[in-house]
Each structure stands twice: as C-alpha cells, then as structure tokens.
Amino acid sequence: MGRPKRDSRIGSEPPSRRFWNVAWIPAVLASVAILLQPFVDEFPLGVLILVLALVLIDLHDS
C-alpha cells in the first residue's frame, strides 16, 4: 500500500551496457534507411531517418 516500489533495475547496469542499449537505435536507423532508399527515391533520406528515429525511440521508451 502507500508508496509504489522503486524500480531496482534503473541505474544497476554498467555504463557500457547502458550505452549499447541506446546505441543500437542509430545502427538500426542507418541500415534500414540505406535498405529502403532505392524504393523511396522521392522521399529524402533525412526525413526517413527522422521518422524511423521517432518511432524507434517511442518503442524503446514504452
């Protein structure tokens, strides 16, 4: 009852693991954008990367 339990997982990982948990996002973005570029010639690559970044960050936060 009362206060909610504190999430013990936050901050318990070493810094390198925390970095790699976030660092996969640009790697996936770059590879997907490069793969999709021939199919979306009328769509600028920067806009595609931005949209993918927003989607992946949203999924990563949930």
The alpha carbon dihedral of 36, 40, 46, 50 has a sign of: negative
The predicted model scores a pTM of 0.36
> How far is Cα 19 from Cα 42, in angstroms, rounded to an integer?
34
Which sequence spans correspond to the domains of the chain? 18-61
pLDDT at residue 35, rounded to an integer: 80
pLDDT at residue 3, rounded to an integer: 58
Token code pair at residue 33:
């954008």
The per-residue pLDDT for range 1-60, each reduced to its tens digit, is 555 555 555 556 565 665 656 667 777 777 877 787 777 666 677 777 777 777 777 776
Angle, CA of 45, 53 and 25, to the nearest 5°: 110
User: Do 52 and 32 contact (CB within 8 A), yes or no?
Assistant: yes
Confidence of residue 62 (pLDDT cuts 50, 70, 90): low
